[in-house]
Structure 1
Amino acid sequence: MGDAFFKGKKEEEKVKEEEEVAVAPKLTGEGNTDKEWCPPSDPDFCVYVCEVTKSILPITNIREQIELLAKYVAEKMGGKIPKEKLQDFSWQLHISELKFQLKSNVVPIGQIKKGIFCHRALLFKALADKIGIGCSLVRGEYGRAWNEVQLMNEPQKGLTGAFSPPEFYIVDLMFHPGALMKLRSQEADLYRFL
């Protein structure tokens, strides 16, 4: 009798769960439409990909590719910003206007014309991936983000076949676009943290 009681109880719970699911409204948006949400198109980003594919991808020196891509990204996001002028760079208003125009918190990266650390690092990563430059996107605190790249050091003169291990660098996209700072250097730490 105990087994029949538990089986009956489980079946009752199962039927009750199915009823609750059938009664629950579909949460697909306002007006209960069944349209799937699609992100806004980003034609500017497509243009960026074409431009860097034509101008930067053919370069054979990886360090030069990184430096040129960094300068390209900085140019598209408002240019070089002197450290002392960072507080005056009105990126927040620009982003708010884009969100208002799009009626969305999702803003295509190609539409951002005034961006700081996080915007530039994201654009650099997206474009680097498109042209095969290996890099990582690292997110810090207070809107900071940066890209890290790994580069082989130049062989030492006079030593055949002696390579030192590769080193990690942070790509400056803000103050000196294209500059590479050794990871954990004082300069890199100032870039990464407030």
Structure 2
Amino acid sequence: MSAGQGLFVSLEGIDGSGKSTQAKLLADALKRDGHEVVLTREPGGSPGAEEIRALVLQGDPDRWSAETEILLFTAARRDHMERLILPALEAGKIVVCDRFADSTRVYQGLSRGDLRRLVDQLHDLMIGREPDLTVLIDMEPDAGLARAKGRQGAEERFEDFGLSLQERMRAGYLDMAQAAPDRFRVIDGGRDIETVAGDVHAAVAAAIP
């Protein structure tokens, strides 16, 4: 897959890190700057991918094996890329995506089994693109989980795995950020929302051609 002159930005973080809030604030700030912005999320972002989202984020924690989840997430991501992300990038827009492939690498590839190689193989075969910039909202696992559980929404399947999963995920994210410093920007998510938003906006603004 190839894209035009747009900018592809993903926001990542453990559950409760505030990345969804920050993605919305970032999109709003970039629009105020005069940019055309598409705000989207994963899993989801296109009609077919949203249907898969309901399958993987709801229900019993043991509903799917990690291998099955990888296939489902990759299918959702392929549809999302084809129908939304690539057309927006080719039109020169900024795409702000709440989660992308790094979530699959951490959740299924590292935290639920030693399946990172499988995740990367499927990604290379079916997706073939990384974000231009990934903003990692870093958060202490216990604080993030408490915030996530406080939402009391329907999509709590991964939160139900508990603190140990959140700890493994945080470590996985930080390892990826260290391995790809040109793509990642790590932002301390333990501060007030406005301060975090300012740092996120500054990091992305600096990456805009």
TM-score normalized with structure 2 length: 0.28
RCO higher in 1 or 2 (8 Å CA, sep ≥ 6)?
Answer: 2
Task: Give the helix-richer structure, 1 or 2.
Answer: 2
Q: Rg bigger for which structure? A: 1
